[in-house]
Every structure is written in C-alpha cells, then in structure tokens.
Amino acid sequence: MIKEQIPDIIVGRLPRYLRTLLILRETQTTTNSKELGKRLGYSAAQIRKDLSQYGEFGKQGTGYNIDFLIDSLNHILNTDRNWDILLVGVGQLGHAILNYTGFSKFGFHIRAAVDINPNVIGKKFNTCVVQDIGKMKEIIEENQIQIAMLAVPAENAQETAEKLVEAGIKAILSYAPTTLSLPPEIRVEYTDPLISLQHMTYYL
C-alpha cells in the first residue's frame, strides 16, 4: 500500500470535494480547480495538488469531468461500496441517529444497534432492532462489521470503545464528548458540536 504516504490532511479534504461535486453535478457536467476552490475556500492550486496525488483526472483547457471525478473519489475513499455499521448506545442521540436516513444514500447502513438499557432493547427501527450490549461481539463477528458509531455517555465511552476493539471493530465514529485512547491501528473520528462551539466563540 502506498496509501500510508499520502498525508491525512489531504485525505480529509477528499470527502469535501466529493460533496461539492455532488452539488455541482445538478447543474453542470464539468468543473475546474478554480470553481471548486472558490466553493470550498481552498486555493485552486491546492485542489490540483491534492487530486494529482491519485492520478490525472483533469484535462488541460477543460477542467474536470464531474461524473468521472466523483467516481474516482468514491473509489479512492472506498465509498464505492456499502458499509455496515453498529450503533452502540440508543439514548436520545442514538434515537436520532437511527431515525436519520441520510447515511444510506452514501452506502452507510446501520445494521445493528445495542444498548444496556432494557427499556430500549427490543425496540424496532427502520433498519434494525435494538439488542442487548452483551451480544455486541457476536453481532460484530457474525456480520463482519468494521465500523461502529459510539453514542454512549462520556463516562462509559472509553470502556465501551475498548470492548469494541476487542470485538474486532476497526473504526469508531464517536459522538461522545471525550478523547478516546485506543491502539493506533484503530481509526477514530469524533463528531463533536461542543468542540466546534468552543472553537468559534474564540472569534466572537
């Protein structure tokens, strides 16, 4: 794999390019680095450099074919396939996640959900029924799930994450407002509105 060599900061921009391309596709078939850059707040040169890490997707004088670039980015990001997800924690936030249908359009499917609370175990949602957290490992192995969303209270996040890793999970998207300490081969991302709020008040 050569992938390791491409800086994560570049990888992190690719989903944003993808998103903007999907919007542009509604109205046009071609775009260029200048237009993309303007939309995203990056320089045109940066966009060209980033994309050039993975190949030559554009044409001189013309720019980029949007459909082709979308396909290419999906291939690079491994999003040209479906992914099964396990949700851990079906509280207020977990409910919202389960009811949100926006993930499946992009190939992310919440195939299973677990909680410790008997009141929600057995509850049915669009794509799955909440199961006992004791069955977590079993569920992960049977369905070969690699990605988990963590929506448990902050106090339980670390221990739950460790159990997920033991059970074979490879990547965690944590909604818990806590920094997790996990082995480096486990991919952890945080989605954390509080951090964002505290970041922006600095400038107010």
- The item of DNA, its own copies, none sharing an interface with residue 61, based on CB under 5 to 8 Å by kind, is DNA
Which residues are 173's β-sheet partners? 149, 189
Q: x-or-dash pattern for DNA, window 24-63, by CB under 7 A? A: --------xxx-------xxxxx-xx-xx---xxxxxxxx
- CA–CA distance, 200 with 83 (Å, rounded to integer): 33
Residue 193 contacts which entry, its own copies, DNA, none (Cβ below 5-8 A, type-dependent): its own copies
List binders of its own copies among 119-178 (CB under 8 A). Answer: 146-147, 149, 170-171, 173, 175, 177-178
Please provide the size of the chain in residues.
204
Q: 149 and 169 in contact (C-beta within 8 Å)?
A: no
Q: Which is nearer to its own copies, 16 or 48 (CB)?
A: 16
Q: Are 70 and 16 in contact (CB under 8 A)?
A: no
Nearest to 150 by CA among 184, 124, 119, 115: 115
Relative to beta strand 63-65, strand 58-59 is: antiparallel
Pick the piece of the chain touching its own copies (CB under 8 A) from 10-18, 55-63, 120-128, 132-140: 10-18
Block residue for tokens 């029924």:
129
Q: Binding of its own copies at residue 55 (CB under 8 A)?
A: no
Q: Cβ closer to its own copies: 37 or 132? A: 37
8 Å CB contact between 189 and 128: no
Q: Give the interface with its own copies as residue ranges (CB under 8 A).
A: 3, 11-12, 14-16, 18-20, 23, 39-41, 76-79, 83, 92-93, 95-96, 99-100, 102-103, 106, 108, 146-147, 149, 170-171, 173, 175, 177-179, 181, 187, 189-204
